[in-house]
Amino acid sequence: MAFAKQTNVDEVAAQSEVKRLMDLDTTPWYKRPNLRRLYCCLLPAVLGCEMTSGYDGSILNGLQAVQPWLDYFHNPQKALLGLITAAFSIGAFAALPIVPLVNDRVGRKHSITIGSAIIVLGAVLQTASVNLAMFLVARILLGVGIPFCIGGASQLIAELTYPRHSAVLNGLFNESWYVGAIIAAGVTLGTYSRSDDWAWRIPSLLQLLPSVLQLTFIWFIPESPRWLVSRDRSEEALEILIKYHAEGDRDSALVAAEFAEIQSTVRAELEGSKRRWIELFETPGNRRRTFIAACVGLFSQWSGNGLVSYYLAKVLATVGITDKKVQNQVNLGLTCWNLVTGCTSAFLTKVLRRRTQYLIAFIGMTVVFACWTGASADYAKTKNEQAAGAVVAMIFVYYMFYTIMHPLTYIYITEVFPFVIRAKGVGLTQTFSRGASAFNQFVNPIGLQNITWKYYIVYVVWLAIEATIIFFVYPETKGPSLEELSRLFEDKNPLTKGHMDLERGASIDEKPVTTMEEVSKL
């Protein structure tokens, strides 16, 4: 599938025309009634995906400081605690092979519906758990539902929203993880002092709320125009673009050019594709995409964040902070901090290039994690309270850098992969993310308990390796439309080209597609 090499002059002209027309359109989204209405329904319909994931991460942190939960399940430690925590990721990992198939078959919108229904069922079972086996099954079921939601939502945002807004919205989508984490941290802080089982059953029950929110609002938003074109429903796709990208103006030059770009590119991709997993490895361009998808998934979990996301209580215990209330307070404060820095970073995507944002984050995390390790070593030797305070401070600074890259996960993947294999690309990223998360969640409590602060050295070394891979492998993707970016990896040197070369279409003298009459002739 040499997508770039099959692009003809008319298509390139249409692609460059989309960017030119978007640059001329300066009306903000909140002054467009249809677009404003779309976003007001879209956000609650998609944000629950990452909210559920964030809630799960934080609730396990909180429950480890809830005595009734520890008593009910006989104070799980080491491998058993790792298995309980990893069950969520194990469920997600098991579901991922069929997620892209469902996503392409039923659409982005109803992939969210399926996932949300599964999560509601899992939350009810977790609340009603009478033994550890039932609790584990419920957590696996919660994990099964989450990739359907995330896969559908991340692509729906990229493919449905106004092109200028998609990066920020996808960034905020990823940062909604912390909204769920804050709710879980607050709920467990409010219930940890109860002496009955509802100290952990209440937080478990409330895990269904984000999915209920999605199931409520999903019916008020349209399907992805790109998916509709792929299913031979082009007229519906065009009507959606006219309504939301042009506020009902059927003579919009932008919509004409945008629709021509989508239709021609999706058709070309479908003609050259059998839509099989093997296509991810058949061309040099797709192999580059596949490697980056694996890296994005792995790096999102193997950067030290798993230690704090699921085992903050144990990390704090290594520097003498063992009071349950203090641990829950730090957990709540950290998740609030992460929401602020994460949302700020989502808006940075409008200013910073993707490579720049990634490198700032990973180099910063490497340096801070080394300082964190040093402070932990000092406390282990001296029991110095200042060293303990430095560790807490380093955790907050570390997460400032982590949240700089966090919004990019699905922005970058939806930009790197063309439509025809985008669902597989997102699925591949989630596969590596959930696999890495499951491994970390199982191994981290063992490492922390057996070698305490020395376990951090592994992450310092790995973070340095991640930063090096990003510097030499990741190309720039900021600027061009999704259809233009399908050509990026067919270039022999994607690191030095990409952003500027993808805009060369502007110099082509062919007449661009700018009217509905011309669209009808495609």
Percent of the chain scored above 90 by pLDDT?
35
Q: What is the separation of C-alpha 439 from the centre of its chain, rounded to a whole number of angstroms?
A: 19
pLDDT higher than 90, residue 356: yes
pLDDT (tens digit, 9 = 90+) per residue, 147-168? 999 889 988 998 999 988 888 9
Q: Is the pLDDT of residue 190 over 60?
A: yes
pLDDT given for residue 501 in this prediction:
43
Q: What is the CATH number of the domain that holds 406?
A: 1.20.1250.20
How crowded is the C-beta side of 488, counted as CA atoms within 13 Å? 30
According to DSSP H, which parts of 206-323 are helical? 209-217, 225-230, 234-245, 253-271, 284-301, 305-317
Average pLDDT of the chain, as a whole number:
83
pLDDT above 80: residue 297 = yes
* pLDDT of res. 436: 84
- Determine phi and psi for 24, rounding to 5 degrees: -80, -20
398 against 479, higher pLDDT: 398
Query: What was the pLDDT predicted at 519?
Result: 54
Quote the pLDDT of residue 224: 93
Overall number of domains in the chain: 1
Res 137: pLDDT: 93
Site of tokens 């009902």: 248
pLDDT of residue 170: 87
Is residue 355 over pLDDT 50?
yes
d(C-alpha 334, C-alpha 342), whole Å:
12
Which tokens belong to 57? 């991460």
* Residue 312 lies inside a defined structural domain of this protein: yes
What is the pTM assigned to this prediction? Answer: 0.78
Domain annotation covers residue 145: yes
pLDDT, one tens digit per residue, over 410-447 is 889 988 988 888 888 888 998 898 888 777 777 777 77
The number of beta carbons lying within 10 Å of the beta carbon of residue 57 is 27
Residue 265 lies in a domain: yes
Alpha carbons 252 and 241: distance in angstroms, whole number: 10
Residue 345 banded pLDDT, cuts 50, 70, 90: very high
Q: Which of the four pLDDT bands, split at 50, 70 and 90, describes residue 16?
A: low
How far is the C-alpha of 108 from the C-alpha of 423, rounded, in Å? 9
Residue, of 97 and 412, whose pLDDT is higher: 412
Query: Would you state the structure tokens that stand for residue 482, as one six-digit string?
Result: 């999704």
Candidates 200, 179, 192, 440; CA nearest to 308 is 440
DSSP class of residue 163?
Answer: G
Does the residue 236 lie in any domain?
yes
DSSP for 167-222 reads HHHHHHHHHHHHHHHHHHHHHHHHHTT-SSTHHHHHHHHGGGHHHHHHHHHGGGSP
Structure tokens at 125: 């079972």
Across 10-24, 213-227, 488-502, the highest mean pLDDT is recorded for: 213-227
Helix, strand, coil percentages in the chain from 3-state DSSP, rounded to 5? 80, 0, 20
Report yes or no on 451 lying in a domain: yes
Mean pLDDT within 385-401: 89
> What's the rounded Cα separation, in Å, for the pair 28 and 35?
10
- Tell me how far apart the 2 most distant CA atoms of the chain are, in Å: 78
Query: What pLDDT is stored for residue 239 in this prediction?
Result: 95
CB neighbour list of residue 428: distance below 8 Å, 6 or more residues apart: 280, 290, 293, 294, 297
**Amino acid 515: pLDDT:** 55
The residue segments making up the domain with residue 460 are 22-520
pLDDT digit string (tens) for 232-286?
A: 999 999 999 999 999 999 999 989 988 988 888 888 777 766 667 788 888 888 8
